[in-house]
Amino acid sequence: MTATYKICLLAGDGIGPEIIAEGVKVLNAVGAKYDTAFEYTDALIGGIAIDETGEPLPAATLDAARASDAVLLAAVGGPKWDTTDPNAPRPEQGLLGIRKELGLYTNLRPVQIFNALADASTLKPEIVDGVDMMIVRELTGGLYFGMRERFYDEDGAGPNGTKGQRAYDTLEYSEYEIERIARQAFEIARKRKNKVTSVDKANVLETSRLWREIVHRVHDEAYADVELEDLLVDNTAMQLINRPADFDVVVTENMFGDILSDEAAQITGSLGMLASASMGDGVALYEPSHGSAPDIAGQGIANPLAQILSVEMMLRYSFDMGEAADDIRRAVTQVLDEGWRTGDIKDAETPADKIVGTVAMGDLIVERL
């Protein structure tokens, strides 16, 4: 019997509509090969949702996401919606909102080197050789979701006694939030190289001391077979560049994970190649790690591979279609080995006839599939 999966498509802004079309093309090719039907529902998020409904995350979008088996998102944002007015709607609120509403507390960011692109890294080839890590970032707690306020301090009660504007953000974590992300990290490590690096700032922050205590308790109770190391976040920032191949699973809180995953992404030298997944206990969301690239939107030159690799993750984690996911990874590797490049991943030696646009790159992947 043909399996059927419902997928909610959130194209968003900038290059979003161009790259998501290639993701759908690849899904359809996989569906034909593996006797699986994918049904799609389009919904609005980000800037385009603000333009059409006044809100970055309309209720209809949440309904469509909840009614699906997985969500495929491209990217949101652009200069049109940039504002410092704290009361104006912003495209990123759509992203933060959908993560919160769907309970997506885990963000997975794989960082892997494709051999054909090893030269794209700014690090020496011998340093990046064998890099294969998974950053597991807590996504719905911490500083980005804590209480915040901006106000005018009439009484000059601030640190230097002067009147003026003040603001604060709050960093808070509960035992429950730390425990569930720690479990996810250990489970993933067991399917990989069996090592977890837990990143915190326990020498300064109370939330980090709680983080470290809970991660160790979960480890000792249920995952003693997994190697566990603690690393302070500042040291981690250095070691990611010094010895990136030593990392397997890196688990950390929301803001540290935001920063470190972008740093780790740069190790590959090709942002247009990196996918991500956000998951909780229900429907999961898959998207490229890069933004909406407004500088190249509408030109047909965006790299669709991060979007296509996010489809790979969707097949692997939401639909348990590991074989199909491996097919996609093989197809991407093959196309790169054959020398095909989009503009962002070409180098001085790439011949002009090997540089292709968004649609042609998608076609190449489908042909190899």
Reduce the DSSP state of residue 197 to 3 states and report it.
strand
Please tell me which residue in 5, 105, 144, 223 is annotated as part of the active site: 144
- The residue among 22 and 248 lying less far from ligand NAD, judged by its C-beta, is 22
User: Minimum CB separation from ligand NAD for residue 144, in Å?
Assistant: 13
Reply yes or no on whether 248 is catalytic: no
Catalytic residue, from 153, 262, 346, 363: name it: 262
Q: Give residue 230's region: left, alpha or beta (phi > 0; psi -120 to 50).
A: beta
Q: Return the number of the residue (2 or 84) whose C-beta is nearest ligand NAD.
A: 84
CA angle 179, 318, 136 (to 5 degrees): 35
- Annotation says 258 is catalytic: yes
Distances (CA, A) of 55 to 8, 49, 100: 18, 6, 16
Cβ 125 to ligand NAD shortest distance, Å: 23
51 labelled catalytic = no
Helix (H) / strand (E) element for 41: namely strand 36-42
Shortest separation between residue 159's beta carbon and ligand NAD, angstroms: 31
Do the Cβ atoms of 193 and 248 come closer than 8 Å? yes
Amino acid at 188: I
Q: For strand 36-42 and strand 227-232, is the pairing parallel, antiparallel, or unpaired?
A: unpaired
> Which residue has tokens 């209720």?
59
173 is catalytic: no
Closest CA to 231 of 210, 218, 247: 247
Report CA Rg, the chain. Answer: 21
Query: Tokens standing for 24?
Result: 């759908």
- Shortest reach from residue 277's CB to ligand NAD, in Å: 12
Residue count of the chain: 369
Query: Rounded to an integer, what distance in angstroms lies between the CA atom of residue 18 and that of residue 14?
Result: 8
Q: Which is nearer to ligand NAD, 12 or 31 (CB)?
A: 12
Toward ligand NAD, which CB reaches closer, 31 or 89? 89
CA atoms within 13 A on the CB side of 162: 4
Please list, residue by residue across 87-123, b when 16 or more beta carbons sit within 10 angstroms of its beta carbon and e when fewer do.
eebbbebbbbbbbbebebbbbbbbbbbbebbbebbeb
The catalytically annotated residue of 234, 281, 337, 347 is: 234
Would you tell me which residues interact with ligand NAD (CB under 6 A)? 15, 75-78, 92, 95, 271-272, 287, 290-296, 302-303, 306, 344
> In this structure, what token pair is assigned to residue 18?
């161009």
Residue number, 109 or 290, with CB nearest to ligand NAD: 290
For ligand NAD, the closer of residues 197 and 310 by Cβ is 310
Q: Is 152 an annotated catalytic residue?
A: no
Closest to ligand NAD by CB, 303 or 318:
303
The kind and range of the H/E element at 349 are none
Kindly tell me which of 197 and 268 has the beta carbon lying closer to ligand NAD: 268
In sequence order, what are the residues at sequence separation of 6 or more whose Cβ sits closer than 8 angstroms to the Cβ of residue 239?
231, 246, 247
Query: Which pair of tokens denotes residue 82?
Result: 């940039």
- Name the minimum Å distance from CB 287 to ligand NAD: 6
Distant-in-sequence, close-in-space partners of 79: CB < 8 Å, separation ≥ 6: 294
Dist. CA 240–CA 9, nearest whole Å: 34
Which residues form the catalytic set?
A: 144, 201, 234, 258, 262
